[in-house]
Structure 1
């Protein structure tokens, strides 16, 4: 039975990938386009947006999310039949010059999960499968695996079921190897999204001068293709606060004007009454 999965490849040559990713460097659109052209020259490449990998929906069929930073490259895509991670395409593994390549796979519509570490092109550790069926278990377990095998992370099912969710241990492998939490709680990992299935370029609004209100908390410009960009939740609340403050200020100005005119009218009437007995 084939298993579809979202697969993330990490090509790491930096001594400290966590520090590199913590800088939240902006992704280069040209880098990803050149990478895909070298990976498969026949692909029609369409840019579909720029966004944080860890705050976006995962890549779908025909899509690649790519980010290139000093000593670290991340490539996420969707694979219809994941097969064995130990047999990852050698062309893919060598698509970027890096001594260490980490492969993280998470089932698209199942509880499948897995991870693999290639060092110098040689497989060092690989694990994949579902809760009920372990497909691969190659190499010595890594330290981060201990609480999962001990059943400390997931409620037991009994029988032949694994004592952990494969998707969870795959994400733990990513955190341990890459050095940062690749989730909304971690630093923004800026990537550019591309489609290679021939879809047209998305319609982009005319560029406008961007102020601070158009930036994410990390200082990254919000692009027009917002299907792939998760806007900061607090931004909408800030807008309502600004509108409320403006309405309150306008109300206070109008109130002061009404009170001033009412006072003037009272003084005028009083003056007229005071002099009404004069010829």
Structure 2
């Protein structure tokens, strides 16, 4: 299952990945100043020292911030928007109030598994250079010229994967927007939140942040607040250490696992006898992390590597013919409020494409993170998923709109 994430970074260095990889320490006072730039009319009370992955589970009563010299990050519900262009003035206000240099670029990431929405944006010199927001069947915002790392996505190298029995929709994007949004974060900062991570990815569990409780303007912090802060930080530190060690062990085992099987041919028509989908499968389309043969990571869920209780799909290397339930798919005929349906597939027995779309996670590349294309595409069947149950949207509808920009050819 994909991870929920909402972050705004200010980057005032040409080598942000190297800075994070070298190990960073959070300046709590500077982080509080950064958070206060957003909630200036409120009193911010430190509540916990934790990691960036855990901060993604925060609610509206918390704001998380980290200050690491040339890099700063803040996470709060204010940035959970599918219209990033509306944040331009807010970003500049935060920059000024927090004394962040004008030379620093601002980078936004927002992914929401429940709506299958992916959003990313980048500001340079106070100007919005690029913003993109979409769900699998509709583009909400698309401003500025695409970055080079977007080319494989628009070129169809990361196609959507559909639930068995659901035909591709001609209006669907040739990729999952959450996967594209996290690739932007990977290009600019060296990591993503959805697991499994690539060998070259940084571990978000190792990035420290401080959480601040948002209190009314007349609130007076007490000694009890300080005591709760110390206790919560001690507990979080132990959980972070355990989860980091477990994640490192899982990644090491993944590197030693057998190579993935060769991709099977993609077919254009629904299977004659699609595999049944369990009735309790979540009715929402999300990017699916390809399973890696390894032991489950103990303790990672407690620290917050995704939504609470979210388990990464893991397949034991020794298990043969085990039935693996594909997450993120829906039973034909299922629906949810607000789901988009098109044409004759409104008839009973057909699932809305927004609810049924899933996307593959690219195979792991040994290349570094800095350049575009560091993670290679691989359309590999998950264990237990029939080859004939995998579909790719062959429509040229969305790729045509950027074909000339990337030079794919006018005939496309």
TM-score bin, normalised by smaller chain: 0.5 to 0.7
Alpha-carbon distance in 1 for matches of 2:92, 2:177: 22
Alpha-carbon distance in 2 for matches of 1:230, 1:169: 28
Alpha-carbon distance in 2 for matches of 1:205, 1:34: 18
Alpha-carbon distance in 1 for matches of 2:107, 2:32: 22
Match of 2:60, SS?
A: coil
Residue 233 of structure 2 aligns with which residue? 223
Match of 1:67, SS?
A: strand
Alpha-carbon distance in 2 for matches of 1:81, 1:15: 27
**Correspondence for 2:225 among 191, 198, 201:** 201
* 8 Å contact from structure 1 (residues 57, 228) kept in 2: no
Residue 167 of structure 1 aligns with which residue? 178
The within-5 A match list for 1:179-198 is 180-183=190-193, 185=197, 186-187=202-203, 188-197=206-215
The within-5 A match list for 1:265-276 is none
Higher helix share: 1
Alpha-carbon distance in 2 for matches of 1:228, 1:135: 41
- Return 14-23 or 49-58, whichever deviates more: 49-58
Residue 149 of structure 1 aligns with which residue? 154
* 8 Å contact from structure 1 (residues 6, 77) kept in 2: no
Could you list the per-position Cα deviations for residues 72-125 of structure 1 after superposition, in whole angstroms to 9, with x for gaps in the alignment? 111111248625111115133342324311111112631111111111011111
Q: Which stretches in structure 2 are left out of the alignment for 5+ residues?
A: 163-167, 247-412
**Structure having the higher Rg:** 1
Match of 2:173, SS?
A: coil
Alpha-carbon distance in 2 for matches of 1:197, 1:152: 47
* 8 Å contact from structure 1 (residues 13, 71) kept in 2: yes
Alpha-carbon distance in 2 for matches of 1:176, 1:80: 20
Match of 2:41, SS?
A: coil
Residue 90 of structure 2 aligns with which residue? 91
Residue 23 of structure 2 aligns with which residue? 24
* 8 Å contact from structure 2 (residues 10, 71) kept in 1: yes
Match of 2:63, SS?
A: strand
Residue 131 of structure 2 aligns with which residue? 126
Alpha-carbon distance in 1 for matches of 2:146, 2:171: 19
TM-score (norm 1): 0.67
Question: Does residue 102 of structure 1 match 2:107?
Answer: yes
Distance 1:86 1:229, change over 3 A: farther
RMSD: 3.0
Match of 2:161, SS?
A: coil
Alpha-carbon distance in 1 for matches of 2:29, 2:17: 24
Distance 1:204 1:134, change over 3 A: same
* 8 Å contact from structure 1 (residues 204, 225) kept in 2: no
* 8 Å contact from structure 1 (residues 20, 70) kept in 2: no
The total of aligned residue pairs comes to 216
Alpha-carbon distance in 2 for matches of 1:40, 1:205: 20
TM-score (norm 2): 0.47
